């Protein structure tokens, strides 16, 4: 078997650090809400500002991908997803967000396409 | 309150077919009479004795009118349906919390088939509780049902953001009515705000212009475009206004069934693509849908 080893100088930060990860159900709430904090608890804005954005910035600065696990919640309103991920893209740009976020869902695999669409749809908008 | 006691109540007979879905115009006329009497005379006496059929969305809508804070200082009396089956459903509906009965009766035990919640904000935990209640009735235990949960959240958000037009935040009232023997659960979500089209005229100048550009001639056309996601939200922002089209899509995919919307002068069975006019305006928005027992999980 031909095994290749990276030399120390070739190792990237993402190879050493544990893969940054957010489970929305575990780290935020299994009962997600609507768009803004003013709408009520569990909003997309609350998730973005309190959980997603700091972890995204950290991952982005370290050249890593932040993995978002979407499973385990009761569901997602369109406004929650758009405000959380589209809102992030409105601030940091579509490409940077796509480069540093990765989505996982076994329950609803199509959700990841929907979220990527919300992110791409923000292009050119503030 | 002492002054109210002297006022002769306005007598209103409830329609025999107490259903907003099946007997829309007659039921709507009844609601208009109740609204008018409460606003002008502050005292009503509603006679349900001849009611032979009641449906959950009608009971919930009537309850939302009686429970409206605008009618807090009014006197509401009534007679129960004579039919024992209708009487049980009437008790379960919560109407007796507002309607003082004119005859002394022993209240039956609640059947446990109805759950109600009201608020004016988006309440995710409430959406979960209502979903859980429905699932336990259908399956004997809680199950995930994202379409159901998502529908509640979208409707709560919609009411919170739009139902009051330019005025204060409007309350919503949601009910779940379980029919375990039929393997079906009925959901009603109602606000007695200004209705979708009046909300548009009060707050959505840009959307109205777009409606004209899209060749929308009337409220039925408008509702169809709204359900199909062909209109931007009232905010005029591209990223908004996806909630109602999502609910409509869930109905098209059969994840929620028999979706009916009644707002202002339009009655629509979205699941069947059947759109009709109401004779008079209903000042609010009613959403009704059903979920049936199925072997697969959603």
Asked if A117 and A97 touch (Cβ cutoff 8 Å), the reply is no
Tell me if residue A95 falls in helix, strand or coil. Answer: helix
Tell me which H or E stretch contains B291.
strand B274-292
- Cα–Cα distance for residue pair B86/B66, rounded to 1 Å: 19
* pLDDT averaged over every residue in chain B: 88
Contact criterion met (CB < 8 Å) for B128 and A74: yes
Say how many C-beta atoms besides its own lie within 10 A of residue B29's C-beta: 15
Query: Residues of B with CB below 8 A from A78's CB?
Result: 154, 242-243, 246
Tell me if residue B295 falls in helix, strand or coil. Answer: coil
Query: Residues of A with CB below 8 A from B243's CB?
Result: 77-79
| Tokens 């009962």 sit on residue | A31
Q: Across-strand partners of B53?
A: B17
Bridge-based pairing state of the strands A21-23 and A66-69: parallel
Query: What's the pLDDT score for residue B298?
Result: 56
Asked if B262 and B278 touch (Cβ cutoff 8 Å), the reply is yes
* C-beta contacts of B252-256 below 8 A and 24+ residues apart: B255/B147, B255/B298, B256/B147, B256/B148, B256/B151, B256/B187, B256/B289, B256/B290, B256/B291
What is the strand order of the sheet B172-179 is part of?
Answer: B114-119, B172-179, B184-191, B274-292, B257-269
Distances (CA, A) of A8 to A3, A13, A64, B19: 16, 11, 18, 75
Distances (CA, A) of A57 to A20, A76, B258: 11, 24, 45
| A25 close to B (CB below 8 A) | no
Assembly ipTM: 0.85
| B276 close to A (CB below 8 A) | no
- Cα–Cα distance for residue pair B254/B291, rounded to 1 Å: 9
Q: Which of A75, A81, A86, A118 has the most B C-beta neighbours within 10 Å, making it the best mutation to test the interface with B?
A: A75
pTM of the predicted protein model: 0.89
pLDDT above 50 for A9: no
Query: What's the pLDDT score for residue B217?
Result: 82
pLDDT in tens, A87-96: 999 999 999 9
* Angle CA B104–B105–B110, to nearest 5: 145
Query: What's the pLDDT score for residue A10?
Result: 54
Of A39, A82, A121, the CB nearest to B160: A39
* pLDDT averaged over every residue in chain A: 88
More confident residue, A94 or B109: A94
| A61 close to B (CB below 8 A) | no
Tell me which H or E stretch contains B132.
helix B124-139
Query: Residues of A with CB below 8 A from B150's CB?
Result: 75-77
- Cα–Cα distance for residue pair A66/A59, rounded to 1 Å: 6
Tell me if residue B171 falls in helix, strand or coil. Answer: coil
- Quick one: average pLDDT of B14-24? 98
pLDDT in tens, B226-281: 999 887 654 555 667 889 999 999 999 999 999 999 999 999 999 999 999 999 99
Lowest mean pLDDT among A13-17, A41-45, A90-94, B80-84: A13-17
């Amino acid at each position: 078997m031909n095994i290749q080893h990276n030399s120390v100088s070739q190792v990237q930060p993402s190879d050493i650090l544990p893969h940054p990860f957010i489970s929305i159900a575990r780290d935020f709430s299994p009962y997600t809400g609507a768009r803004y904090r003013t709408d009520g608890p569990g909003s997309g804005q609350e998730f973005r500002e309190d959980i997603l954005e700091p972890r995204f910035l950290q991952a982005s600065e370290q050249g890593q991908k932040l993995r978002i696990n979407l499973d385990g919640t009761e569901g997602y309103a369109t406004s929650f997803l758009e405000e959380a991920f589209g809102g992030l893209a409105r601030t940091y740009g579509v490409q940077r967000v796509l480069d540093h976020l990765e989505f996982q869902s076994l329950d609803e695999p199509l959700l990841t396409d929907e979220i990527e669409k919300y992110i791409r749809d923000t292009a050119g908008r503030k | 309150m002492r002054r109210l006691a002297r006022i002769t109540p306005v007598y209103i007979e409830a329609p025999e077919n107490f259903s907003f879905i099946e007997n829309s115009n007659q039921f709507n006329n009844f609601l208009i009479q109740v609204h008018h009497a409460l606003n002008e005379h502050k005292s009503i006496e509603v006679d349900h004795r001849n009611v032979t059929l009641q449906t959950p969305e009608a009971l919930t809508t009537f309850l939302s009118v009686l429970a409206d804070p605008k009618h807090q200082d009014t006197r509401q009396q009534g007679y129960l349906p004579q039919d024992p089956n209708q009487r049980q459903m009437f008790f379960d509906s919560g109407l007796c919390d507002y309607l003082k009965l004119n005859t002394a009766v022993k209240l039956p035990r609640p059947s446990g088939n109805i759950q109600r919640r009201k608020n004016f904000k988006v309440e995710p935990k409430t959406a979960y509780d209502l979903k859980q209640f429905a699932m336990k009735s259908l399956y004997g235990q809680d199950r995930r049902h994202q379409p159901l949960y998502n529908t509640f959240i979208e409707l709560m958000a919609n009411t919170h953001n739009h139902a009051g037009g330019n005025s204060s935040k409007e309350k919503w009232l949601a009910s779940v009515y379980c029919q375990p023997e039929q393997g079906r659960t009925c959901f009603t979500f109602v606000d007695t705000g200004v209705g979708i089209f009046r909300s548009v005229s009060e707050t959505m100048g840009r959307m109205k212009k777009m409606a004209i550009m899209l060749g929308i001639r009337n409220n039925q056309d408008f509702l169809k475009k709204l359900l199909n996601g062909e209109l931007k939200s009232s905010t005029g922002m591209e990223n908004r206004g996806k909630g109602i089209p999502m609910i409509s899509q869930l109905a098209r995919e059969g994840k929620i069934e028999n979706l009916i919307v009644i707002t202002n002068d339009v009655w629509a069975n979205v699941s069947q693509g059947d759109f009709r006019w109401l004779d008079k305006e209903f000042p609010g928005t009613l959403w009704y849908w059903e979920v049936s027992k199925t072997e697969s999980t959603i």
